[in-house]
Amino acid sequence: MSATTDDAPKLRQADFDRARFRVGGQPASRADWQTAVRARIGKQRINIMLDMPVVDHFKALAGERGYQTLINDTLRRVIESGHLEADIRRVIREELRQN
């Protein structure tokens, strides 16, 4: 599945305006919810310098979604899949065997 394929309906600002924050099933303020999310998944706010073509690419893919989320998801997939170089070498070997 490509990063641009998404069957979910587009979210509008009105959808977010109706959102209710909950922590442990109990109503919570936005600040309390953000604190709980960061504690649960270990998010940390940082500053990072990226090349503009990289940012432009992810902004184009993201559309109305958050491009930073796409960058984070991409980095996570690379980490979880092991080393990118090893994956590329494996694919090349598979392709050479087929020819």
> What is the per-residue pLDDT for 77?
82
pLDDT at 90: 80
Pick out the chain residues at pLDDT < 70.
1-5, 82, 99
What pLDDT is stored for residue 52 in this prediction?
93
For the chain, give every domain's residue range. Answer: 11-45, 47-99
Q: How far apart are CA 77 and CA 43, in angstroms?
A: 16
Confidence at residue 96, expressed as pLDDT on a 0 to 100 scale: 85
Which contacts (CB < 8 Å, 24+ apart) does range 39-42 have? none
CB 25 within 8 A of CB 36: no
Q: By the 8 A CB rule, do 57 and 44 touch?
A: no
In terms of Cα–Cα distance, which of 16, 8, 20, 4 is closest to 63? 4
Please give the model's pTM, rounded to 2 decimal places: 0.46
pLDDT tens figures, 67-88: 988 888 888 887 777 677 777 7
